Structure 1
Amino acid sequence: MTLSCATLPATRLLLSHGWLAKEPAPFQQAVLDRIQIRRFDTGQYTHHIGDDPGGIFGILGGSFGVMTQSPTLGVVLGHIFGAGAWFGQGPLATGGARMLTFRAMQPALVAHVPLPAIQELSRAMPEAPRRFAGLVEYNAIITYQIAGELLIRRSDQRIAAVLLRVVSATQSSHGDDPTACLLTQTDLAEMANVSRQTMNTVLKRFETEGWIARGYGKLSVRDMQGLQEFLTGGD
């Protein structure tokens, strides 16, 4: 099913922030004219590490966990993309297999641009390959941020950094609670590279300080400034 931003209001989100929002209008429209709307239930995957190359995905609603391969831990959660984000661009740059796994963290709606449509657009619009390459650079910034966070020595500050990153990335996905993170303590422990026991101890302190609130399968940051000051000050 091919839809334009005029026929699906949710696609306007893709023009308000993120990679596509920074591209020229003719390219934006060319991409939107080639999307296929797909729905994913919680726990479903768009693709796995090692799958054949495919298209790209723009999140219209919901969120997706980004999972990578660890030599010692297997496939682990590293980040969460929220509404407005795009992913799946790796094989466009390398021509190789999928390098990451993406799992729906909640019911999600995505704009999928299949690989044949990307190839056709690249032939029709000479600057298109460079525009798509911009998505590689756009998402690489997140990779650098994750690497920097994992170098934080103190586990409690590292947890704070991960929480702040995930909230910032997914706040457009939770209209009723924009500071909510739909992830478990186990998920967060995986992302921050700490034990579940350490995670539980730190979150109890954060909750006592009034920085976060915990619910079933969900964490909400109630005091972004307080958590940020703890991250940078370390008190």
Structure 2
Amino acid sequence: MSTPAELAAFFARCSWPRALTQAERDLAFEALYVRRHEAHSYVCQRDEIADSWVGVMEGFLSVQDTTLEGKLVMYTGVAPGGWFGEGSLLKPEQRKYEAMATRPTVTVHLPRKTFGWLLEHSIPFNHFMLSHLNERLGQFIAMVKFDRLLEPTARAARGIAGLFHPVLYPNTDATLRINQEELGWLVGVSRQRVNTALTELEAAGLIRRGYGHLVVMDRQGLSRYPSPAT
């Protein structure tokens, strides 16, 4: 398991505790707990009642669902420094998705009770959450737009750039540990087409490829990658 010092360092890097008073930060930190997950294990399951807000300390999560035909649909990925599941905590209903660790992953959990207490007592935390939800909504609207309007290489470029979102994933460094299959799930194209897209993006100087990972050379360039006529 992660050490208390590692948890404290992760907490200090997160943006939302900075909105809290010292007493509120202390309360939140004391409530946190850590879970370790093997590759391809579930962090949360569809139809369960959410009991915590979930952050990623190490690894990578796929937020996804499976159709009645058995097809996997990946809604988004969560890189280190990102938090997810706030929507499921704000309304008393079952989760509409599942989250799976695509590689060995360490998650940090803020219990529902503490999350609710912060919403009730901290106006700055409410402001942070409104901004966070607004960015999340914008992310999903952009995904729908890209899916309908962009060709596969541009979709791959925007999908990679989205995992470096400065609000949703503020602590993601330049190395993104994601494989071609995972990226294909994220942007809705085949693994073979992802390979072609990555070759094109590397030739454009926007990424550098490695085994099981990408190094992002120009996030802004990825987010503005053109969509040539097809």
Aligned to 2:171: 172
Q: 1 CA distance for matches of 2:65 and 2:20?
A: 28
Q: CA shift at 1:77, angstroms?
A: 1.7
Residues 38-67 of structure 1, C-alpha deviations (whole Å, 9 max, x = no match): 222222221111112312223233332222
- In structure 1, C-alpha distance between the alignment counterparts of 2:13 and 2:181, rounded to whole Å: 33
Return the alpha-carbon distance in structure 2 between the equivalents of residues 146 and 57 of structure 1.
Answer: 19
| TM-score, structure 2 normalization | 0.77
Cα distance in 2 between the residues matched to 1:33 and 1:47: 22
Match for 1:48 among 35, 45, 48?
A: 45
Residues 1:59 and 1:197: Cα distance change in structure 2 (over 3 Å): closer
Q: Distance in 2 between matches of 1:223 and 1:74?
A: 33
Letter in 2 for 1:148: A
CA deviations over 1:169-207 (Å, ceiling 9, x no partner) = 66835xxxx322222222212211223333222222122
TM-score (ref. length: structure 1):
0.75
Deviations 1:12-60 (A, max 9, x none): 3333333333333332221111112222222222111111231222323
Secondary structure of 1:31's aligned partner? helix
Contact 2:19–2:128 (Cα < 8 Å) also in 1: no
Q: Give SS of 1:203's match.
A: helix
Q: Distance in 2 between matches of 1:117 and 1:72?
A: 38
Instruction: Quote the residue 1:32 is aligned against.
Output: 29
Specify which of 140, 145, 149 is matched with residue 151 of structure 1. 145
**Hey, what's the Cα distance between the residues in 2 that align with 1:126 and 1:166?**
30
Equivalent residues in 2 for 1:1-235, closer than 5 Å: 7-68=4-65, 74-116=71-113, 118=115, 121=117, 126-127=120-121, 131=125, 135=129, 138-152=132-146, 153-155=149-151, 156-168=153-165, 172=171, 178-229=173-224, 231=225
Q: Which runs of 5+ in 1 are unaligned?
A: none
> C-alpha separation between the residues in 1 aligned to 2:227 and 2:71?
34
CA distance in 2, matches of 1:98, 1:115: 14
Bigger drift between 43-52 and 99-108 goes to: 99-108
Q: Alignment partner of 2:62: what SS?
A: strand
- Tell me if structure 2 keeps the 8 A contact 1:90–1:98: no
Q: Is the 8 A contact 1:211 1:221 kept in 2?
A: yes
Residues 1:197 and 1:150: Cα distance change in structure 2 (over 3 Å): farther
Counterpart CA distance in 1 for 2:212 and 2:6 is 29
Percentage of identical aligned residues: 20
Looking at structure 1, the residues matched to 96 and 218 of structure 2 have their Cα atoms a distance apart, in angstroms, of 35
The CA deviation at 1:97 is: 0.9
Contact in 1 for aligned 2:150/2:227 (Cα 8 Å): no
- Tell me by how many angstroms 1:96 deviates: 0.7
Go from structure 1 to structure 2 and tell me whether the alpha carbon gap of 1:201 and 1:184 turns closer, same or farther (over 3 Å shift): same
Q: Distance in 1 between matches of 2:189 and 2:163?
A: 16
Unaligned runs of 5+ in 2: none
Deviates more, 1:37-46 or 1:92-101: 37-46
Number of equivalenced pairs:
223
**One-letter identity of the residue aligned with 1:187:** E
How far 1:158 sits from its partner (Å)? Answer: 2.0
| CA deviation string 1:105-144 (max 9, x = no partner) | 333323223335556x46xx94169947954751451242
Shift of 1:162: 0.8
Point out the more displaced range, 109-118 or 206-215.
109-118
